[in-house]
Amino acid sequence: FMIGPLNTEIEQYLIDQERFEDLRQQTTLRAGRNLCDLSYANAYDGPLPEVLKVIRDCLGSGRTLDMQYTPYGGSTITRRLIARQLSSTHGERFNYRDIVLTPGAMAALNVLFRVVRHDAEPNEVVVITPCWLDYPLYLANLGMTPVMVPMAEDLTNLDLERIKDALGPHTRAVVITQPSNPTGTLYSREQLQQLSSVLEASESHPLLISDESHRDYVFQPHSFSSPLEFYDLTCVVYSFGKGLLIQGQRIGYAAVSPRINDHKAVARQLERLCRA
């Protein structure tokens, strides 16, 4: 058989990533066991002892269904606990059905991109850069067009004018990381409010996807604010792996803002796309 070709755009994104991976492997061969590999966000100290204890307790509980399949969207008990936690931190009353569990933030992003995609129409997604390398790859794989919009030159502020110029009739979503990955920038409440005003004025009224995978790493005197507080059409992406230092376990979720008029339908569609 013959391997089917990838389209040119996906090939280019993969080439850039594979070049990085080749450099990492070459460095690993030279350094051997003395290598401290910072190319992946792996904690060399491993998970916290209390996290390991919870995992051991679950494995030894004797409840035979704990490690088996759950419904699409995740276990109801787990979703209720997440909804309760988000209700206390994000200023909105979440129902458990607003939460859709996924195998990591990667899957949550993919189903959110799919939920806004319109078949047989152009689909653009504004991506604030610098960004996680995989965002444009996911979009290209879905036949969507990533529209890259750089932060301001100081890498501490959003370039609101550029964002405004990038929005068009086919803009389906805007992706932002809070705090930013890889810069570590924590956007202020004022900036998030200004971003909300820009999006509300847009004719396309895009979904704002807030990737909050690193929100557990905000330290005093700074405080975390979610874009969900300011813009109604927001969905949150989160990864337990980052905060608990168990990235390889791939546990994440997408949360739909209760302020989205048809938030129940959006969450239901996310569940359905987990099947497809």
Cβ-contact 216, 225 below 8 angstroms: no
pTM of the complete model: 0.94
Number of domains within the chain: 1
Q: How far is the C-alpha of 17 from the C-alpha of 66, rounded, in Å? A: 37
How far is Cα 90 from Cα 170, in angstroms, rounded to an integer? 29
Contacts with 19 (C-beta within 8 Å, 6 or more apart), sequence order:
none
Q: Does residue 51 sit within a domain? A: no
Classify residue 109: in a domain, yes or no.
yes
pLDDT per residue over 189-202, tens digit each?
999 999 999 999 99
Return mean pLDDT, the chain. 94
d(C-alpha 9, C-alpha 21), whole Å: 19
Residue 253 located in a structural domain? yes
Query: By residue range, what is the domain housing residue 206?
Result: 73-275
What pLDDT, on the 0 to 100 scale, is given for residue 39? Answer: 76
Residue 162 domain flag: yes
CATH number at residue 269: 3.40.640.10
Is residue 46 in a domain? no
137: in domain: yes
Angle between helices 134-141 and 105-116 (to 10 degrees): 40
Tell whether 89 is covered by a domain: yes
The string of pLDDT tens digits covering residues 10-61 is: 999 999 889 988 998 999 899 888 888 887 778 888 898 999 999 899 888 8
Tokens standing for 53? 């204890």
Average pLDDT over residues 72-87: 96
Please check whether residue 100 lies inside any domain of the structure: yes
Q: Is residue 66 over pLDDT 90? A: no
